[in-house]
């Protein structure tokens, strides 16, 4: 190796190898935090632009590491061999070979004439293994530490059954380092190629095993990030499925009650029934038009208007009155869709309907301390706290709302119901503010 040290040669080599592990672990961790690089980890067939991005993101820090070795004599920063192999493993043999060859140009200033060839071979080997591996997930599971039955793995490889890619990757990464050591010793006098070198057998073993360890560390860090992203995506899909199921539970419940209301008017007030059918069709059209589980408060209120028109027609404007007090600043806030209809239905069905002279339903919305507050109140018959209807927030619809809010916001929400017999009921939702992002057209 170039340069000298106060440390004894074996200890200095071991220290350099350990520092190299830290360098590649740090580089892999920094790369894993990049959203651009994270997206590349999930692309199996990369186009030219994606390969260039990969080369740019990994090639620059690898070149800086080579520069640190050449200018500062800091050998631990040079992970160009491992990096070239990784670029080939991620981007293919052409990308790996070309990138390795380019990285090898810088050491030519130190007369390391074999560097471009050595790094190009490393990149080509990584890309070749990627091309041969049918299940690319096998590459991500590589680790130099695993329980290995050598006989079984070799037998399967020779008979082309259940090829053990752990063994192939281990042999390839050790082999590429062994080739570099061989070339270094072959041209020792002219120093045509850089590598750690020693005459002590166990130190040579450490040098050989350091390459698969460094490559395995990078793959483990990146695969951990891939697993995290996949788990986040699975969690999102599970939440989406739960929201869809809960939303579908509300729609039939609402439809059943509305059809009953229409049926009660067909004989006595056919024109009103016809108007209700028209409004119901408008409401259903809106529900079927989009599968969004989140809408703005303005969109939610527009949907509620159709429902309220149906109920006002059913009860008569003299018995059911609706008052709105909506802060304009809340209209762009995002809320779960179909979140108000069950609450308003509960007020009408259990509060206003039993009352002989009817009553008023009031809807309020305002902002308070970073939260959106929505209140639905009525001056109906109310109920006692120990009334059966007070359980699960007033039946299927309100229980559904509570569950949807819990799924979306976790513990960061409140759904409160206050009621007194003869005075009415107040239902309040408190959720974090979240302004809708304008859609791109």
Nearest one of 226, 21, 54 to 126, comparing CA atoms? 54
Q: Which of 186-200, 404-418, 419-433 has the lowest mean pLDDT?
A: 186-200
pTM confidence score? 0.62
Note whether 113 and 193 are same-domain residues. yes
Note whether 57 and 194 are same-domain residues. yes
pLDDT band of 298, cuts 50, 70, 90 = very high
438: pLDDT strictly greater than 80:
no
Note whether 81 and 144 are same-domain residues. yes
Query: Is residue 325, in this structure, part of any structural domain at all?
Result: yes
Q: Which of 48-62, 157-171, 334-348 has the lowest mean pLDDT?
A: 157-171
pLDDT at 134: 86
pLDDT band of 99, cuts 50, 70, 90 = very high
pLDDT at 126: 95
Query: Is residue 440, in this structure, part of any structural domain at all?
Result: no
Nearest one of 281, 276, 248, 249 to 260, comparing CA atoms? 276
Mean pLDDT of 427-437: 81
Distance from C-alpha of 42 to C-alpha of 57, rounded to nearest angstrom: 16
Question: Residue 395 sits in a domain of what CATH number?
Answer: 3.30.565.10
Q: Which of residues 400 and 226 earns the better pLDDT score?
A: 226
Which helix (H) or strand (E) segment is 414 a member of?
strand 414-420
Note whether 228 and 133 are same-domain residues. yes
Query: Is residue 249, in this structure, part of any structural domain at all?
Result: no
pLDDT at 289: 63
Note whether 65 and 194 are same-domain residues. yes
Mean pLDDT of 112-137: 92
Which one of 232, 256, 287 terminates a domain? Answer: 232
Query: Is residue 323, in this structure, part of any structural domain at all?
Result: yes
Residue with tokens 């990285």: 103
Nearest one of 307, 308, 138, 343 to 223, comparing CA atoms? 138
122: which residues sit within 8 A by CB, 6+ positions away? 81, 82, 84, 85, 88, 96, 100, 176
Buried b (16+ CB within 10 A) or exposed e, 1-19: beeeeeeeeeebbbebbee
pLDDT at 6: 38
Angle at CA of residue 77, ends 38 and 37, nearest 5°:
10
Give the tokens for residue 413.
Answer: 């929400």
Strand, coil or helix: 149: coil
The DSSP bridge partners found for residue 427 are 376, 417
Note whether 217 and 278 are same-domain residues. no
Note whether 215 and 281 are same-domain residues. no
Query: Is residue 138, in this structure, part of any structural domain at all?
Result: yes
pLDDT band of 1, cuts 50, 70, 90 = very low
Let me know if 197 is exposed, middle or buried by CB neighbors in 10 A (0-12, 13-18, 19+).
Answer: middle
Note whether 140 and 211 are same-domain residues. yes
Per-residue pLDDT tens for 336-372? 887 888 888 888 888 888 888 889 999 999 999 889 9
Count of structural domains within the chain = 2
pLDDT at 217: 93
Q: Which of 107-121, 137-151, 389-403 has the lowest mean pLDDT?
A: 389-403
Note whether 227 and 271 are same-domain residues. no
Note whether 178 and 38 are same-domain residues. yes
Structural domain including 21 reads: 9-232
Q: What are phi and psi of 413, to 5 degrees?
A: -160, 165
Q: Which of 179-183, 286-290, 307-311 has the highest mean pLDDT?
A: 179-183
Per-residue pLDDT tens for 209-266? 999 999 999 999 999 998 888 878 777 766 666 666 656 555 566 677 678 878 877 8
Which one of 232, 247, 276 terminates a domain? Answer: 232
Note whether 175 and 304 are same-domain residues. no
Note whether 389 and 342 are same-domain residues. yes
Query: Is residue 187, in this structure, part of any structural domain at all?
Result: yes
Query: Is residue 172, in this structure, part of any structural domain at all?
Result: yes
Query: Is residue 370, in this structure, part of any structural domain at all?
Result: yes
pLDDT at 405: 87
Which one of 232, 247, 281 terminates a domain? Answer: 232
């Amino acid at each position: 190796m170039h340069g000298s040290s106060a440390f004894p040669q074996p200890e200095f080599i071991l220290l350099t190898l350990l520092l190299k592990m830290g360098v590649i672990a740090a580089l892999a961790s920094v790369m894993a935090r990049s959203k651009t690089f994270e997206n590349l980890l999930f692309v199996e067939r990369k186009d030219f632009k994606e390969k260039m991005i990969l080369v740019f993101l990994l090639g620059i820090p690898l070149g800086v590491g080579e520069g640190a070795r050449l200018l500062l004599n800091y050998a631990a920063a040079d992970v160009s061999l491992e990096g070239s192999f990784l670029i080939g493993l991620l981007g293919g043999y052409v990308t790996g070979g070309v990138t390795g060859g380019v990285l090898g140009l810088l050491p030519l200033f130190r007369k390391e004439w074999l560097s471009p060839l050595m790094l190009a071979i490393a990149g080509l080997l990584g890309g070749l293994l990627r091309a041969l591996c049918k299940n690319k997930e096998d590459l991500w599971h590589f680790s130099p530490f695993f329980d290995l039955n050598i006989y079984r793995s070799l037998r399967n490889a020779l008979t082309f059954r259940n090829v053990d890619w752990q063994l192939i990757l281990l042999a390839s990464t050790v082999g590429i380092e062994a080739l570099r050591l061989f070339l270094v010793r072959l041209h020792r006098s002219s120093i045509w190629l850089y590598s750690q070198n020693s005459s002590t057998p166990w130190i040579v073993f450490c040098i050989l095993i350091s390459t698969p360890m460094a490559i395995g560390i990078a793959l483990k860090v990146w695969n951990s990030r891939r697993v995290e992203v996949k788990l986040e995506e699975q969690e999102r899909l599970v939440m989406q499925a739960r929201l869809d199921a809960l939303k579908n539970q509300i729609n039939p419940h609402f439809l059943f009650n509305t059809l009953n209301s229409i049926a009660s008017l067909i004989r006595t007030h056919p024109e009103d029934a016809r108007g209700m059918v028209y409004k119901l069709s408008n409401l259903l059209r809106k529900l079927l038009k989009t599968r969004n589980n989140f809408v703005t408060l303005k969109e939610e209120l527009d949907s509620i208007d159709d429902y309220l028109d149906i109920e006002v027609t059913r009860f008569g404007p003299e018995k059911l009155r609706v008052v709105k007090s909506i802060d304009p600043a809340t209209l762009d806030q995002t809320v779960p869709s179909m979140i108000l209809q069950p609450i308003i239905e509960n007020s009408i069905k259990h509060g206003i309907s039993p009352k002989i002279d009817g009553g008023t339903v009031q809807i309020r919305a305002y902002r308070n301390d970073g939260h959106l507050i929505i209140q639905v109140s009525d001056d109906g018959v109310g109920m006692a706290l120990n009334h059966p209807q007070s359980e699960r927030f007033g039946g299927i619809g309100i229980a559904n709302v509570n569950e949807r809010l819990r799924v979306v916001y976790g513990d960061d929400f409140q759904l409160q119901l206050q009621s007194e017999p003869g005075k009415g009921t107040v239902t309040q939702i408190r959720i974090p503010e979240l302004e809708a992002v304008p859609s791109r057209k």
